[in-house]
Amino acid sequence: MERRDFAPALEAYAVGAALTRALGRRRALEEALGINEELLEWASTGSLESVVQYEIDDEVVTVRIGSGPNGSYDVHLGGRAFAVEVASLGSETARLNVDDRGTDAIYCDEEGDALHLILGPRSYAFVDLSAARGAREAETAGGRVVAPMHGRLLQILVREGQTVARGDRLAILEAMKRQHEIFSEVDGTVSRITSQADAQVGAGDLLLEIEPAGD
């Protein structure tokens, strides 16, 4: 397999997007106790595709990224498509294959807020704008309820304005032909519902927000 020492801009963006997704998946796996690893990249309709926006060195770039098996991603941006495989992922380095060409990367992940990436002679800074918006919302919104894995949201069992208690059922998610119930971790009031029944959701996607009691 041909190995490359650096990547042009669009290819570097594709690498950064895939690496950001892979790191998010790893964080979700670490936080999702008792959930099978394969569920984190599973969707009932096949590859789960998301549209995300990154701020890359002060430029906003829209990326479509689909997750496949074994750390593979289909990345579309700038009118081009890239097949990216995260072959190995260490704490600060990663080895990736981009359209069957090898690329080595050095990275620094700031707890999901930003990804600093070095590819060959160039460095890049990636900020996931949707994650940044979510973090800002979290500071004022209170309890955030996110999908613990990829799947299909079968039901939302609450409505906006409804009072809930810790342990109440909030939603039902289907993954790998099994149903998984999502429960409230706080007492409070449902302030916003951001998804709907029958929607495909990814691990970490915001489903609804709860204003904790007493806030």
Mean pLDDT, consecutive 10-residue segments, the chain of 215 residues?
64 91 76 50 53 78 84 90 94 92 88 78 81 47 72 91 90 79 88 90 83 79
Domain boundaries, the chain: 3-131, 142-212
Class of domain 3-131: alpha beta
pLDDT score of 36 = 53
**What is residue 176's predicted lDDT score, i.e. its pLDDT?**
61
The pLDDT value recorded for residue 97 is 94
Cα(59)–Cα(176) distance, integer angstroms: 38
Copy the structure tokens of residue 144. 């955030």
Residues 6+ apart with CB under 8 A from 203: 24, 25, 28, 32, 40, 146, 147, 148, 149, 150
Q: What is the pLDDT of residue 140?
A: 36
d(CA 136, CA 141): 9
Give the architecture (CATH level 2) of 142-212. Answer: Beta Barrel (2.40)
Q: What is the pLDDT of residue 76?
A: 93
Nearest in space to 65 (alpha carbons), one of 130, 155, 122, 2: 130
Residues 183/170, Cβ–Cβ less than 8 Å: yes
pLDDT of amino acid 139: 40
